[in-house]
Amino acid sequence: MTQSSASAVDATALRRFTLPLLAVYPLLAIAGAISHRRVFSLAALILLLTLWLLPRLVGGSPRAWGGWLAAVLLVVVMGWLGLAGALLEAVPLAIIAGLAWWFGSSLRAGREPRVVRFIRVLEGADRLALPGVAAYGRRVTIFWASLLCVQALALLVLLLLGLVGVALPGWALVYQHVGGYVLIAAAFGAEYGWRRWHLRHLQHPTLQAQAMQLMQCWPQLLHGQDAPR
């Protein structure tokens, strides 16, 4: 087995291991928010931190392990000070706001809109050159930047209400930790349906195939690298 194929196998095995654990994160987060027990919030934060650094931890990176230990210590101290819940509630806000900036910043003059780049990297320059495809990619980039920005503002309002002592209902607590991600999944499916109708003169991959391709190539797209063909 070549080194590249071994790395691909390791990456696939790692994804199979991390995805089920990632599903545990919102359960712990919601349990901590509703029960006000620090142990759940601390466990959710440490789990999320571990999954984020897991590829480098498995690789034995001393820097990753040092960063992980320092971050765990910080989380424990925050929990001891009673700030673990607020820190946990800020995680979805930070992720959504970061994605909103990531899409929006690509709309500046002289830059390639993010979805246009997705099309070029994942489907090829020939696909991007077809009539209407590049313009559609720019409009979808605007859509994602706007949707994520509104979502980040909603999460910010909920976070501030919680910090000033407003008792949030259960649905709001669930929305803080799960709603944003569910909204993204629903918007992804809705955009796919609209695209198939709007660009119905073109052939399209299935929704499952597109989602799998996006997940597999996400690290390359996130860091501005061309995805492997």
Residue 192: closest CA among 207, 214, 213: 207
Token pair recorded at residue 98: 């970061």
Residue 113: closest CA among 144, 148, 151, 92: 144
Give the pLDDT mean for 130-155.
93
Q: What pLDDT is stored for residue 135 in this prediction?
A: 92
Could you tell me if 33 and 173 are in contact, meaning their C-beta atoms sit under 8 angstroms apart?
A: yes
The whole-chain average pLDDT of the chain stands at 78
pLDDT at 1 over 70: no
Give the pLDDT mean for 29-34.
70
Q: What pLDDT is stored for residue 4 in this prediction?
A: 43
